[in-house]
Amino acid sequence: MSSLAPGSVALITGGTGGFGRALATKLREREVTAVLADLDSERNRAVAEELGCPFVVLDVTDRAANEAVVAQVEAEHGRLDAAYLNAGISAEKSDGDLDLDEFLRVVDIDLFGVVYGAVAAAPAIRRAGGGAIVVTASLAGLSPMAGDPGYSVAKGGAIAFVRSMAPRLAADGTTITAICPGFADTAIIDRIREHFTAANFPVLSAAEVADAMVMAWESGEPGAAYVVQPGVGTIPYRFKGVPSAKTAAGETAVVPEALRPPGMR
Ligand SMILES: NC(=O)c1ccc[n+]([C@@H]2O[C@H](COP(=O)([O-])OP(=O)(O)OC[C@H]3O[C@@H](n4cnc5c(N)ncnc54)[C@H](O)[C@@H]3O)[C@@H](O)[C@H]2O)c1
């Protein structure tokens, strides 16, 4: 099933967090089975149970575990139509010397967790006849945050990954897209929420972001990065072109055919 339809099966990593819960609720309303994958804890299992969603244990930094979870979803639910690669953390330390251990941990979860998840999910989605991979990136991937270089690198990398993978996945009937929300009211902003409140700075609700995540599955364009901002809604980000190479004669050089993705040859 290449589009969102009743009876579809979706996997959501970081599924018991703020965006995961809001998305699971919306998918359940559409009669989609939403399998919530998250770190193992009593709290996470209880959240899934309350939502009426199956729970699977997954640390997204574990390559083999990503493959095993996809196999489990196919075995238990018969198919996988969409993968929401949404698990993520941000750094706790925002100034002073860069904490390299923390930097690597954020990149491991927020970037490599996405890469492992996409590689594991793509063949299963192809077997289901095509579908969607939706990566929760961030506005920080388009506008880097001075307070969190690891997060900025990971989210920028996730957007580049989505854009570079889009043509080969589209050839299989799978649309990969990125969601780039501004600050939203979930646990990830607990440490800084008071500053937004004090400054009367608008933050998104998790439900607004979940609407964008649903849209990305239903009608997203391959390789698109959707900005979600309070008072603005969801809009595809328009990337600036880069300067093309010029030939000795001053003409715009075209990339050799063999190096272009399928569909652009
Ligand atoms: N809330 C925001 O302001 C905001 C803005 C832009 C992007 N995002 C991104 O949205 C995504 C969801 O975050 P959220 O706002 O719902 O926050 P959240 O903290 O409520 O949810 C994050 C979830 O990821 C899970 N997780 C963390 N490490 C994991 C791992 N190694 N393996 C599996 N699961 C893991 C957590 O257990 C949690 O359930 C993240 O990728 C985050 O970076 C959030």
Could you tell me the distance, in angstroms and rounded to a whole number, from the CA of residue 243 to the centre of ligand 1?
Answer: 36
pLDDT in tens, 206-217: 999 999 999 999
> What is the per-residue pLDDT for 253?
94
**Residues in CB range of 241: below 8 A, 6 or more apart:** none
> What is the per-residue pLDDT for 2?
66
| b/e 17-31 (16+ beta carbons within 10 angstroms → b) | bbbbbbbbbebeebe
Residue 61 is classified by DSSP as: T
Confidence grade of residue 252 (pLDDT, cut at 50, 70, 90): very high
Residue 67 is classified by DSSP as: H
Pocket test for ligand 1, best of 185, 188, 201, 234 (most atoms within 8 A of CB): 188
Q: Could you tell me if the CB of 18 is within 6 A of ligand 1?
A: yes
Mean pLDDT of 48-56: 98
Q: Could you tell me if the CB of 8 is within 6 A of ligand 1?
A: no
Is 85 a residue whose pLDDT tops 70? yes
Contact 125, 73 (CB under 8 A): no
- Selection from 127, 134, 170 nearest residue 1 by Cα: 127
Is 219 a residue whose pLDDT tops 90? yes
> What is the per-residue pLDDT for 120?
98
> What is the per-residue pLDDT for 8?
98
Is 43 a residue whose pLDDT tops 80? yes
Mean pLDDT of 124-138: 98
For residues 35 and 97, what is the distance between their CA atoms, to the nearest angstrom? 39
Per cent of the chain over pLDDT 90 is: 91
Atom of ligand 1 at shortest distance to CA of 203? 3
Is 263 a residue whose pLDDT tops 80? no
> What is the per-residue pLDDT for 259?
84
Mean of per-residue pLDDT scores for the chain: 95
Contact 83, 134 (CB under 8 A): yes
Q: Could you tell me if the CB of 117 is within 6 A of ligand 1?
A: no
Q: Could you tell me if the CB of 58 is within 6 A of ligand 1?
A: yes
pLDDT in tens, 55-75: 999 999 999 999 999 999 999
Is 93 a residue whose pLDDT tops 90? no
Residue with tokens 């309303």, as numbered in its chain: 29
> What is the per-residue pLDDT for 241?
86
Is 264 a residue whose pLDDT tops 70? no
3-class SS letters over 85-111:
ECCCCCCCCCCCCCCHHHHHHHHHHHH
The domains of the chain, with CATH numbers, are 9-240 (3.40.50.720)
Is 80 a residue whose pLDDT tops 80? yes
